[in-house]
């Protein structure tokens, strides 16, 4: 029931839902004043949620800012969260990345710079319509091995199905298979980092810091295009942000973070 309600709530909170609802109400009302009111609301919401400046400001407020590589210390292990690959695409003889490939690419960069000694990838097997695919941890490990990362420096956690379990299982591996007080760098998308950080704190991981990647925000620009030019992609950006904020609050209410 909780799963059903949470998924339903996500759709209700999508900006396109509000825009369409107010538009339908405007078409439905016979009263000219009410019709004008709801159609105006629909237009106003459309202009608001397609505006590039407003959604960028919202992401700048939510996302943890990027850290210069020169300021990153050395860590015993980098913990990489998955959720960035596409499964429903054949042939399955390669890794298809969705947005978020920075999670593995920036991890590779940090490893090459000597900032992290080992890479712990957490993400379990995905099942779609009864068909199971290899775990995301395995897929990202394949990419890292193609980049000549030694297998002994890649640690896989293949049971986690969500951020809470990422934190629980990865923390267990760090605490039970690595030297005491091993330093960790948590690597995930900037929009996802507040929830992930809270989950790892709840799971009891000690001596860890964060590294944000895969930004939806950009540097502030005051050009006419960045201030006023509407774009349909901004509807999706708002959905990502609202979805994540709701997920963060839900985790807090459930005691997961």
Q: Is the pLDDT of residue 3 over 60?
A: no
Answer whether residue 225 is part of any domain: no
Q: Is the pLDDT of residue 17 over 80?
A: yes
Answer whether residue 224 is part of any domain: no
Give the whole-angstrom CA distance, residue 245 versus residue 257: 13
Expressed in percent and rounded to 5, the helix, strand and coil fractions of the chain are 55, 15, 30
Question: pLDDT category, 217, cuts 50, 70, 90?
Answer: very high
Q: Could you report the per-residue pLDDT of 95-113, keeping only the tens digit for each? A: 899 999 999 999 999 999 9
Give the whole-angstrom CA distance, residue 237 versus residue 50: 9
Answer whether residue 226 is part of any domain: no
What is the CATH number for 209?
3.40.50.620
* Domain ranges, residue 139: 69-213
Contact, 225 vs 86, CB < 8 A?
no
**In percent, how much of the chain has pLDDT > 90?**
79
Q: Could you report the per-residue pLDDT of 178-206, keeping only the tens digit for each? A: 999 999 999 999 999 999 999 999 999 99
Q: Could you report the per-residue pLDDT of 42-86, keeping only the tens digit for each? A: 999 999 999 999 999 999 999 999 999 999 999 999 999 999 998
Question: pLDDT category, 7, cuts 50, 70, 90?
Answer: low
Domain tally, the chain: 2
Lowest mean pLDDT among 26-40, 119-133, 163-177: 119-133
Answer whether residue 221 is part of any domain: no
Mean pLDDT of the chain: 92
Say whether both 102 and 206 belong to one domain: yes
pTM over 0.85: yes
Answer whether residue 175 is part of any domain: yes
Q: What is the pLDDT of residue 160?
A: 93
Candidates 18, 196, 178; CA nearest to 100 is 196
Say whether both 53 and 137 belong to one domain: no
Say whether both 124 and 167 belong to one domain: yes
SS3 annotation, 74-140: CEEEEEEECCCEECCCCCCCCCEECCCCHHHHHHHHHHHCCCEEEEEEECCCEEECCEEECCHHHHH
Say whether both 51 and 153 belong to one domain: no
Q: What is the pLDDT of residue 225?
A: 86
Q: What is the pLDDT of residue 141?
A: 95
Say whether both 19 and 53 belong to one domain: yes
């Amino acid at each position: 029931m909780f799963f059903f309600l949470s998924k339903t709530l996500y759709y209700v909170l999508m900006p396109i839902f509000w825009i369409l609802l107010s538009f339908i109400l405007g078409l439905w009302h016979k009263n000219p004043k009410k019709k004008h009111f709801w159609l105006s609301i629909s237009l106003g919401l459309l202009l608001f949620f397609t505006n590039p400046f407003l959604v960028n400001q919202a992401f700048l407020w939510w996302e943890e800012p990027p850290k210069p590589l020169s300021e990153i210390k050395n860590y015993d292990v980098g913990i990489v969260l998955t959720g960035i690959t596409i499964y429903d695409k054949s042939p399955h003889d390669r890794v298809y990345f969705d947005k978020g490939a920075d999670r593995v690419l920036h991890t590779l960069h940090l490893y090459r710079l000597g900032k992290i000694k080992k890479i712990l990838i957490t993400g379990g097997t995905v099942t779609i319509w009864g068909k199971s695919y290899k775990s995301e941890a395995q897929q990202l490990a394949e990419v890292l091995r193609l980049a000549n990362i030694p297998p002994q420096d890649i640690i896989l956690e293949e049971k986690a199905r969500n951020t809470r379990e990422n934190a629980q299982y990865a923390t267990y591996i760090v605490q039970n298979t690595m030297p005491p007080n091993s330093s960790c760098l948590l690597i995930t998308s900037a929009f996802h980092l507040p929830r992930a950080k809270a989950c790892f704190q709840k799971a009891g991981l000690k001596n860890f810091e964060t590294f944000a990647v895969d930004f939806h925000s950009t540097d502030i620009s005051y050009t006419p295009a960045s201030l006023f030019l509407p774009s349909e992609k901004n509807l999706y950006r708002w959905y990502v942000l609202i979805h994540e904020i709701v997920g963060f609050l839900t985790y807090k209410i459930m005691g997961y973070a």
